[in-house]
Amino acid sequence: MAVPRTVAVTTLGCKVNQYESAALVTLFRERGYKVVDFSEPADIYVINTCTVTHLGDRKSRQLIRRATRNNPHARVVVTGCYAQTSPEEVLSIPGVDLVVGTRDKSRIVDLVEELESRKEGPLAVVRDVFADQDYEELPVPALPSRVRAFLKIQEGCNNYCAYCIIPYARGPLRSRDPENVLAEARRLVAGGFKELVLTGIHTGAYGQDRPGDLDLAGLVERLAEIPGLVRLRLSSVEPMDITDKLVDTMATRPNVCRHLHIPLQSGDDTVLARMRRHYTTAWFRELVQRVRERMPGIAITTDIIVGFPGETDGQFENTFNFVREMALARLHVFKYSPRQGTAAASFPDQISAPVKEARSRRLIALGDELARSFAAKHIGQEVQVLVEEELPEKEGFFAGLTDNYLRVIFPARKNLVGELVTVRVEGIEGADLKGMII
């Protein structure tokens, strides 16, 4: 019997990339390949790249070079957003054999096998992301855990925020057929997954390109009805897509998590307008108040960009003060990174790296303070925890998440991974809760 060829897949970036990498693993396994860790020698290395910032580009290049060091004779395959936006740059890296854009991941095994018959140099399969409007289906991802799974519901974005390269990497909005979403969700639940996380490039726009079909609220309603689904969680939803219908649907379905990640990006109205964000801080404030009134205890998390071109010290202070006022549960802070081809890359008054670093540090510290404050509100309460892992560094202790996105650590005498348990919160450590099972 022939020894199966080995493949290693690694991922940079967002939840969509994580979902797609897991699907690529499934594709290779279905064709008889043995999947190994990226740190091990392999016949084929697949790097699923990110280009949302210059750091994503740099890390992608580092992983490509690491693969060639692991096995100089291996086939190196580069896919994802960096491969889509900069294919020539990727092809110029020694050792790269195949570059696949964001539109042909379902063909990746065929393309790898096509390499074997090629006598010429590296192969690039990078199509125009605006050429067709079809959603590319991938197989149900292979996932190491049976607790939480990502479920991709759409692709692409039509917003074209001034700083963002992603519409050029992913193309226009394409919503997945709702029946395909529901079918995959049922398969995942039947396979033992307790929590599904809806993900996409512009998740909140789901259905806007399919008039008369389900919108995001309608899809959430249908998914929440699946027997055996313990939790349904939404990933990032743009502020303008959070409708009263969506909030009501979330509030009235007990298995829909009280958690919304709502990207704010700036707390200054002038900066928001220059970013091409279509709301004001007053509008955002009213949205947050409305959501909190409808879903008490909800965790609202956000993204903030510091150092956007032209951002003055006063405008940054407006952002800092607005974020503090909103008392958000968690912040993801990004230093603005110029992306070639975006509007903001050519804006005047680019901010220096030291200023961006200083602003980032201040907001990260504020985010840590807000996260601890949100967690501390739960001391003395009983919370429902979906157990995700036994801590490798602390035998007999387990960790899991509440529906409102708090990590809880507690001791137990048996393996409870995958179980929904009640924990009385006794204290906090950083932003984690500590407690005892009831």
Reply yes or no on whether the pLDDT at 361 is more than 80: yes
Task: Locate CATH 3.80.30.20 in the chain.
Answer: 148-376
Q: What is the mean pLDDT of residues 38-59?
A: 95
Percent of the chain with pLDDT over 90: 92
Task: Give the confidence band of 338 by pLDDT, cuts at 50, 70, 90.
Answer: very high
Alpha-carbon distance 33 to 42, whole Å?
11
Contact 139, 191 (CB under 8 A): no
Alpha-carbon distance 188 to 153, whole Å?
14
Which pLDDT belongs to residue 89?
95
Model confidence, pTM: 0.93
Alpha-carbon distance 177 to 136, whole Å?
11
Q: What is the DSSP string of 254-273?
A: TTB-SEEE---B-S-HHHHH
Task: Indicate the burial class of 217 (C-beta count within 10 angstroms; 0-12, 13-18, 19 or more).
Answer: buried
Distance linking the first and last C-alpha atoms of the chain: 53
Which pLDDT belongs to residue 1?
40
Reply yes or no on whether the pLDDT at 370 is more than 90: yes
Q: What is the mean pLDDT of residues 191-202?
A: 96
- HSE, side-chain direction, 13 A CA sphere, residue 226: 27
Closest CA to 436 of 395, 382, 390, 378: 382
Task: Locate CATH 2.40.50.140 in the chain.
Answer: 382-437
Task: Locate CATH 3.40.50.12160 in the chain.
Answer: 6-125
- Superfamily per CATH, domain 148-376: tm_1862 like domain (3.80.30.20)
Which pLDDT belongs to residue 112?
94
Reply yes or no on whether the pLDDT at 2 is more than 60: no
Which pLDDT belongs to residue 117?
79
Which pLDDT belongs to residue 120?
74
Q: What is the DSSP string of 126-179?
A: ---TTS-------PPPP-S-SSEEEEE-EE--S---TT--HHHHH-S-EEPPHH
Of 3.40.50.12160, 1.10.1740.10, 3.30.530.20, 3.40.50.2300, which CATH number belongs to 6-125? Answer: 3.40.50.12160
Residues facing residue 408 across a β-bridge:
400, 433
Which pLDDT belongs to residue 431?
85
* Tens of pLDDT, residues 80-129: 999 999 999 999 999 999 999 999 999 999 999 998 777 677 999 999 99
DSSP assignment letter at 351? P
Fold of 382-437: OB fold (Dihydrolipoamide Acetyltransferase, E2P) (2.40.50)
Task: Give the confidence band of 430 by pLDDT, cuts at 50, 70, 90.
Answer: confident
* Tens of pLDDT, residues 263-310: 999 999 999 999 999 999 999 999 999 999 999 999 999 999 999 999
* Tens of pLDDT, residues 202-222: 999 999 999 999 999 999 999
Alpha-carbon distance 386 to 417, whole Å?
8
Cα separations in angstroms, 318 against 161, 168, 311 = 20, 31, 10
Closest CA to 148 of 255, 48, 232: 232
